[in-house]
Structure 1
Amino acid sequence: MERPKLIFCVHLLGLLCFTYVVCGQDGSVYLDCGYMGAEYLDPSTTIHYTSDAMYIDTGEPMTINNSSLSTQYQSLRAFKQGKRNCYNVTGLTHNRTYLIRAWFVHGNYDSSFQLPKFDLYLGVDHWFTVNPQNFKDQVWTETMSIIMTEYVAVCLVNIDLGTPFISALELRPLAGSMYPVVNPSRSLTTLVRRDIGSSSDTAVRYMLDPYDRVWEPYTSKDWVPLNFSSFVIDSNDELQPPAVVMETAAQPSDPNGSISVSWDPPTWDPDSPFFFCFYFFESTPGSRIVVVELNGAEWDTMNTTINTWLCTKEPERRFSQYHVTFRAPSASSFPPILNGYEVYVANMRSQLATDAGDVAALMDIKDKLRLTNRSWTGDPCFPEDYSWDALTCNQAPNRRIIALDLSGSGLNGEIPASIANLNELTSLNLSNNQLTGPIPERFAHLTKLTSLDLSRNNLTGLVPSTLIDKNNSGVLLLRIFQNPSLLRPNSSEPTQKKSKKNVFIVVISVSATMVLLFAFAFILIMKRRKINGTKILSMRNRKNSSNSDGARAFTHSEIVKITNDYEKVIGQGGYGTVFYGRLADGREVAVKILSKDSRQGVKEFSAEVKLLMRVHHKYLASLIGFSEEDKEKILVYEYMPKGNLYSILSDKRSNSIVLNWEQRIQIALSAAQGLEYLHYGCKPSIVHRDIKTSNILLNEKFEAKLADFGLSRFGPTEGDTHISTTVMGTPGYVDP
């Protein structure tokens, strides 16, 4: 909404700048955005402004070289980085209606001679689109909204039409009885507020209006200004118009004439309904009656010596444009009168929000770990296009945090215990940082946690025994290696040394067991003469020889060595967990382990081994080896360093990989050729049955290969009439 220059130095309302601001005794908050000096008093409004520097860690303070501007307009904060930047105003009274206002004066501060356009959000809801038309414009917008918590976020969103900026932000609580049309599901955004008949060229604000509403003077050459006195504000009045507005008015210069006002829908919200009020008051003896017409139809009749205002009962939208006429009937002693009016756009508020407990926990984590360079502002999960990085939300209306990945973030200090308040977490990764201190005991209360990675830190103390028990039972995948001073329960030996010792013991035990099993299997084979194809292959490969197809069988101890004791998880699939590994010759591999809960059993495992060992193609993932010991089923594939296509396409981080069109087309062609080979190059043909982006892997050159053939099935041979289409792995696309 554009406003003419308001000399009254309007408290720059920095509401949008949205930081914590100075809270007055009445609970109001005023910020001068981008201002770096000490708190000061605005002489026009007697309002105290303070710098926003202590309450926002993004944006760049800028100044406008124009001393004729009020102090609030001589500085601003510009946001050249990030899609969404938010102020978090705290210390508010929950369940209270607040008047929130933001001011924007560009002043060509960056000498670009380009005016931006950007969006403003209150919490998760769109509030206003800022679109100044002139460098000198004083653009302001305000909303009345019930704040349900003790904090609120005001966010500037870059829509790729210039750099967002803000000059001032302000919040002021209203009396509990004011504007009852505002409720938790509906807010009001000001379209216009007029002081009719005023002879001043400045707007009415605080202290003349104790609630600091901006009443702009308005008159017409066809009107005669009137002045009254003795208006007394009724503290029970739900609108409480200021006395200075009610003591001025206008009537038509023609005694038989009328007063007209009109408004159009705003460009930033063309479809929402309006809420509007008209004010009437006079002290002249006699009877003045005013008939109010909406677009030519009579709406209501007012006796101005009895009634002071007329409002819509509920927001309405009967016309695309509103034209309101005030006229006097024959029974009136005087012409019509109008003292002032207000028009608001009524907005429905979204009921979607991240769980308040999760938000509080995340804000404490941000503070304790000093996460100043992250997009952790505003609501963590909404709007979805601007959700926080490093976390995953579920899909419930009251969003909960289910995964948090702060690995490799340069974190130091102790792990915040408040992480345990994220009680819907299933995955937590704090690896590869410089965290110190003990592992919080409260982590044991995260009942839904299935993966906890604290590796590569400097943690100390004992690992909570409950976490060890969960890890041993398979409920939790716990990673704590490379914490030299971390101790396991009932041991004074650091985990890193103990881990090596355990690996050695496991290798010796497994080796001895394998020798016995080999001898026993050999006796059975010789005795029964029933040779299983898969076991024969396994036996031959355990002599460290390669079969005709190049795949080999690994022992359990070899798998432990290849994965460095299952050090690095690189994915989850139909089988279960996938680990990174490196062979003795330096080749990188992906080690896929069949989970106990997997829907794939021994038959499916054997089927995939047999299938992969006979299928070779440039665009199909190659099997390097396998392991089948102690009921543990493991496949060893070639490693694809760029991961799967789904991860790249769904990555919303600012530094994520962006595929160009040539790469996308090549990936599609490669996948198609691999699929074609399965269908027509294999005899009998093979139906993959689980084609999806997560099963398309990419190498360092972004060349694609199809994976997960264990979900495949042989196609029809001669005489067959159909094939099974039962999906054996994760649900995906069943190819024709």
Structure 2
Amino acid sequence: MTVWKFAISAVAVAFSFAAIVQVRGQPSTEGFISIDCGTPDGYNHTDNTNIQYVSDDQYIDSGVNKRIAQNYINSSIPIQDVTARSFPSGSRNCYTLKPVTANQKYLLRATFMYGNYDGQQSVNPNTSILFDLYIGVDLWKTVNISDASAEYRVEAITLALADFISVCLINTGSGTPFISALELRPIKLAMYPAAMANQSIVLYLRRTYKPSSNQIFRFPDDPYDRIWASYTEIPSDWTTISTNAPIQYYADDHFNAPSTVLQTAVTPIRSTTMTFLRLDKGSGPIAPQYHVVFYFTELQLLNSNAVREFSIYLDGSDRWGDSFRLLYLMSYYFCSTDPLTVDYAFSLNATANSTLPPLINALEVYTLMYLSNPATDVSDGASRICSFRNHDCPDAIMAVKAQYQVKRNWMGDPCNPTEYAWDGLNCSYTASPSRITSVNLSSSRLAGQISDFFSKLQAIESMDLSNNNLTGGIPYSLASISSLQVFGDSSGLPWLPENEQRKNVTEVAVKVCHQISSQGTKQLHAEAESLTHVFHKNLVSLVGYCMDGDKLGLVYEYVPQGSLHDHLRGTSGVFRALNWGERLRIALEAAQ
């Protein structure tokens, strides 16, 4: 197991105290996304933490706004719990949280309170509501709502891989999914090293020891808005130590547990050891993998003869072979990065030099969440929320959704998980990331011009836009995708014939020469006549010609990507540059 630990020996006391103490400034809400779900568009309020919450209308295009029953509303519940957004339709409904910064770590929290919002008593002693919660394309948690009056929270630490984070509620057939609040908080990259690009960590337990209080500690006490619950079930052979003095922090203490959390500790009364945490392997088919963070602060000003020194034991063994000797009012932490996968018992054991028993102030436990499912290629996918009110959407398929206001299950990742892939899309899964290969938007009431964003789907092979009301021609950018086939009909695609679709059509090009001299006309006539009999695989074939006075029209095979002359001269309208392999092939064929 890899461990990050802040411990200090007696020698370290000689170091300059001012040089190692961190001065904490006022906390900021910059980068916070705080959503009160189920509230109307434009709604906002500031709660008792001084955090402003806004409507979820700008983050999602589906769902129904609801309000919990009046008999569940009281002064003890957060105002965010009064409303909820319910999702009676669709198997997957997703929020897209923006703006976020790629490669930044975030605390992500979802809150649920049923409160009989649907008037159906769907949660009762005999019935629970269960649904899945996803971060992007990976399962975050199965939410189990078994108490109508309880608030349920699900929290994770995750690394943003793009400029968005998607949170999806999945209907698994055991009740209608709903959500009361959704919160995103930026944290320092050095915090929680187990959270990285290929895995997130999910909160299992966060505890502070306040024996006579059910108080919750969060922002502004905690600058990262972690929610610390008081643990009141203190064993009878433990006692508490408290102080009102502010806690100090080392400059490289990345975790910064709030002072209010660390101002109370527990310690055994008549023992030199204390078992303070047991983790089990659970009842599921896969044993959870745990990560732990323990916090220690000396709260008593000890006399010169007193020593509090202890080690962390795992299943009765001094696994790490090091000890903590704390300085007065200085914060220390212990953090594991390698996962624990079987039953474990953590205890603190006083060393032989110690005259006082060990203590602990707070702890966190997380389970590992592997990010094993590949997302759709970012250029194809949905890295921005594209609502009908905001078309600022640079990623292809979501931009198409916004432009045409597509009324389908288009939310979350377009291709993954495969069982929730978007209607009308086919994807290729032969490589990672997956790519969109076809789009079927037939009979979708599309209007306006053909979107340039279709050309951003660089792996697309076919597109069906029939039975719509589109105007204009195919954008030039689409012509650069040589493998693309566009299907449509006369009513939906205006560049096709107005009457009926013809079969076995050969596309041709026509070049007209004007004001040809009499002698030149005879010469061109002879050359055109001879060209109709010339056939070569590397030459376009002349279909025919037409002479009309001093005008000559040549009808020849259409070259959709332009001729060699066009590419050499950079003729306007030729948009695809030749790669070196194509240039070599052309040179060889020209010599044949």
1:204-603 pair list within 5 angstroms: 204-219=217-232, 220-222=234-236, 223-228=238-243, 229-256=245-272, 258-265=274-281, 270-283=286-299, 284-285=301-302, 286-300=306-320, 301-305=322-326, 308-317=332-341, 319=342, 321-350=343-372, 352-359=374-381, 360-371=395-406, 373-395=407-429, 396-449=431-484, 451-457=485-491, 472=506
Structure 2: where are the runs of 5+ without partners?
1-27, 123-127, 382-394, 513-592
Pair 1:430–1:259, CA change in 2 (3 A): same
Q: CA deviation at 1:207?
A: 0.5
Matched residues in 1 for 2:511 and 2:405: separation? Answer: 34
Maintained 8 Å contact 1:186/1:347: yes
| Pair 1:81 & 2:89 matched | yes
TM-superposed CA distance for 1:191, in Å, is 0.3
* Structure 1 pair 27–81 and aligned structure 2 pair: CA distance change class (3 A): same
What is the identity, as a one-letter code, of the residue corresponding to 1:216? A
Amino acid at match of 1:348: Y
**What code does the residue aligned with 1:273 have?**
Q
CA–CA distance in 2 between the matches of 1:109 and 1:489?
A: 68
Q: Which amino acid aligns with 1:365?
A: V
Q: Secondary structure at the match of 2:205?
A: strand
Secondary structure of the residue aligned to 2:217 is coil
The aligned counterpart of 2:60 is 56
Q: Is 2:146 the partner of 1:133?
A: yes
Counterpart residue number, 2:533: none
- In the alignment, the residues of structure 2 paired with residue 25 and residue 269 of structure 1 have an alpha-carbon distance, to the nearest angstrom, of 40
**Aligned in 2, Cα 1:154/1:266: closer, same or farther, shift over 3 Å?**
farther
Q: 2:88 & 2:62 partners in 1: Cα distance? A: 9
Counterpart CA distance in 2 for 1:473 and 1:268 is 63
In the TM superposition, what whole-angstrom CA distance separates every residue of 1:646-670 from its partner, at most 9, and x where no partner exists? xxxxxxxxxxxxxxxxxxxxxxxxx
The Cα of 1:198 is off from its aligned counterpart by: 5.8
Residues 234 and 240 in structure 1, CA contact (< 8 A), matched pair in contact too: no
Q: Is the 8 A contact 2:156 2:200 kept in 1?
A: yes
The code of the aligned residue for 2:108 comes to: I
Change (3 A) 1:261 1:436: same
CA contact (8 A) 2:293 2:365 kept: yes
2: CA distance, partners of 1:471 / 1:176:
60
Would you say the 8 A contact 1:233–1:242 is kept in 2? no
Aligned to 2:589: none
In structure 2, the residue matched to 1:35 is 39
For 1:265 and 1:472, locate their aligned partners in 2 and report how far apart those are by CA, in whole Å. Answer: 68
Does the 8 Å CA contact 1:120/1:129 hold for their aligned counterparts? yes
CA shift for structure 1 position 290? 1.9
Please give the alpha-carbon distance, in whole angstroms, between the structure 1 residues aligned to 2:481 and 2:156.
40
Query: Given the alignment, which residue of 73, 87, 105 partners 1:67?
Result: 73
Structure 2: how far apart are the matches of 1:339 and 1:261?
Answer: 13
**Structure with the greater alpha carbon radius of gyration:** 1
Q: CA deviation at 1:392?
A: 0.4
**How far, CA to CA, are the matches of 1:62 and 1:406 in structure 2?**
32
Structure 1 residue 259 displacement after superposition: 4.3
**Partner Cα distance (1:268, 1:126) in 2:** 15
Cα distance, 1:168–1:473 mapped onto 2, change above 3 Å: same
Aligned residue for 1:523? none
Shift of 1:390: 0.2
- The answer to whether the 8 A contact 2:465-2:493 is kept is no
Query: Would the alpha carbon gap of residues 249 and 471 (structure 1) be closer, same or farther in structure 2, given more than 3 Å must change?
Result: farther
Aligned with 1:237: secondary structure? coil
Task: Give the counterpart of 1:116 among 119, 129, 132.
Answer: 129
Q: Deviations over 1:136-174 (max 9, x none)?
A: 121111111110100121000011111111110011110
What are the within-5 Å matches in structure 2 for residues 12-23 of structure 1? none
Cα distance per residue 1:673-719 (max 9 Å; x no partner): xxxxxxxxxxxxxxxxxxxxxxxxxxxxxxxxxxxxxxxxxxxxxxx
For 2:285 and 2:179, the matched residues in 1 are separated by 21
Do the aligned partners of 1:119 and 1:129 also contact (CA within 8 Å) in 2? yes
Please give the alpha-carbon distance, in whole angstroms, between the structure 2 residues aligned to 1:441 and 1:235: 57
Listed one character per residue, the Cα deviations across residues 73-117 of structure 1 (whole Å, up to 9, x for unaligned) are 011011111111111112111111010000011112223222310
1:308 maps to amino acid: Y
Q: 5 Å matches for 1:639-678? A: none
Q: Please report how far the alpha carbon of residue 204 of structure 1 lies from its aligned counterpart in structure 2 after TM superposition.
A: 1.0
Alignment gaps of 5+ in structure 1: 1-23, 475-487, 492-736
Q: Greater relative contact order (Cα 8 A, min sep 6): structure 1 or 2?
A: 2
Q: SS of the counterpart of 2:380?
A: helix
What is the alpha-carbon root mean square deviation over aligned residues?
A: 2.6
Q: Is the 8 A contact 1:194 1:340 kept in 2?
A: yes
Question: Which runs of 4 or more aligned residues in structure 1 lie more than 4 Å from their structure 2 counterparts after TM superposition?
Answer: 265-270, 458-463, 488-491
- The counterpart of 2:193, out of the listed 170, 174, 180, is 180
CA contact (8 A) 1:129 1:268 kept: no
Partner amino acid for 1:89? L
Amino acid paired to 2:39: Y
CA-CA distance at 1:267 after TM superposition: 6.0
Percent identity, aligned pairs only? 33
What's the counterpart of residue 115 of structure 2? Answer: 107
TM-score by length of 2: 0.71
Q: Equivalents in 1 of 2:284, 2:417: separation in Å?
A: 18
Whether the 8 Å contact between 2:468 and 2:493 is mirrored in structure 1 is: no
* Secondary structure of the structure 1 residue equivalent to 2:353: coil
Secondary structure of the 1:117 match is strand
CA gap of 1:268–1:472, structure 2 versus 1, over 3 A, is farther
Number of matched pairs: 446
* TM-score, scaled to structure 1: 0.57
CA distance in 2, matches of 1:462, 1:133: 58
